[in-house]
Copies of this chain bind each other. A is one copy, B any other.
């Protein structure tokens, strides 16, 4: 293998002609791996847990979880289940959370592994943990009184995030705990669809004026988040991807619209005057 490539755990980006910008640009800000992980973990309440079965065999199983304010997952499991017995025997565990119902190739979508140790919370923390679990998994109230169910807090020690082909990074426990889930995430899929359906001209202006591709013939929004957009650009030289950033991070899903309008205005202002 002499070809330079960006490696992805388990799979790689298909070979593609990715062309460079014609104009040097500073790529827009992106979410950190810790922010990506917090956002993904906050987006659902179902994941897959790895525990150690008898003989230290790794055991994968589906679990529901809630989340404490520092992002630590809270599990509520029965000792009648193998993973419940496993945690009592050995608290080492990790939780894998995958993007739910990704629009395209599931291998080109987000997932994160949180690895660490499960601890039984006590006192006030136990109350907080139960409340966090029930907030995410309302059905859990029905089992709260069963004696074989136990609360566990996964103390995160290591975080590995994969966003898709060529997008991956690790985060420390401290980075993960300090990061904030992207508050605009619930509105992102709708915003992407709206931009691609109704504002192809604005996206093309961003490719021309802000992404360094003045020869682009088409641009689509691949992703949007609080900091900006990922563009998929087509042009006579081939395909390209680019990141264009908002002036200020968006704080609510409703802010994405105003931030995108400002970005479009800036892109059009940066365009060279039309050839006479």
A contact set with B: CB distance below 8 Å: 1, 7-12, 14-15, 46-53, 56-64, 76-78, 80-84, 92-96, 98, 101, 105-107, 111, 113, 115, 137, 139-140, 142-143, 146-148, 160, 162
A99 to chain B, nearest CB (A): 9
Q: Name the contact of A82 in the complex, choosing from B9, B48, B58, B143 (C-beta under 8 A).
A: B9
Q: Name the contact of A48 in the complex, choosing from B48, B84, B93, B139 (C-beta under 8 A).
A: B48
Which of A47, A101, A143 has the most chain B CB within a 10 Å cutoff? A143
- Contact indicator B143/A12 (Cβ below 8 Å): yes
A62 and B115 in contact, given A10-B77, A105-B139, A107-B139 (Cβ under 8 angstroms) = no
Q: Which residues of B lie under 8 Å from residue A82 when comparing CB positions?
A: 9, 113, 160
Q: Which residues of B lie under 8 Å from residue A78 when comparing CB positions?
A: 7-12
A64 to chain B, nearest CB (A): 6
A45 to chain B, nearest CB (A): 8
Tell me the complex Cα distance, A9–B48, Å.
13
Tell me the complex Cα distance, A241–B105, Å.
38
Tell me the complex Cα distance, A263–B207, Å.
61
Q: Which residues of B lie under 8 Å from residue A162 when comparing CB positions?
A: 62
Tell me the complex Cα distance, A106–B139, Å.
10
- Contact indicator B148/A84 (Cβ below 8 Å): no
Tell me the complex Cα distance, A1–B143, Å.
11
- Contact indicator A60/B60 (Cβ below 8 Å): yes
Q: Which residues of B lie under 8 Å from residue A47 when comparing CB positions?
A: 48, 60
- Contact indicator B63/A10 (Cβ below 8 Å): yes
Q: Name the contact of A62 in the complex, choosing from B15, B76, B98 (C-beta under 8 A).
A: B98
Q: Name the contact of A12 in the complex, choosing from B62, B83, B111, B142 (C-beta under 8 A).
A: B142
Chain A to chain B contacts (Cβ below 8 Å), 19 pairs: A1-B147, A11-B76, A11-B77, A11-B78, A11-B139, A11-B143, A50-B50, A51-B58, A53-B115, A56-B92, A57-B92, A58-B92, A58-B93, A58-B94, A60-B94, A61-B111, A62-B106, A82-B113, A101-B101
Supplied contacts A48-B48, A58-B93, A64-B106, 9 more A-B pairs, CB within 8 Å: A8-B81, A9-B81, A9-B82, A11-B76, A11-B77, A52-B58, A58-B59, A61-B113, A101-B101
Q: Which residues of B lie under 8 Å from residue A76 when comparing CB positions?
A: 11
- Contact indicator A49/B60 (Cβ below 8 Å): yes
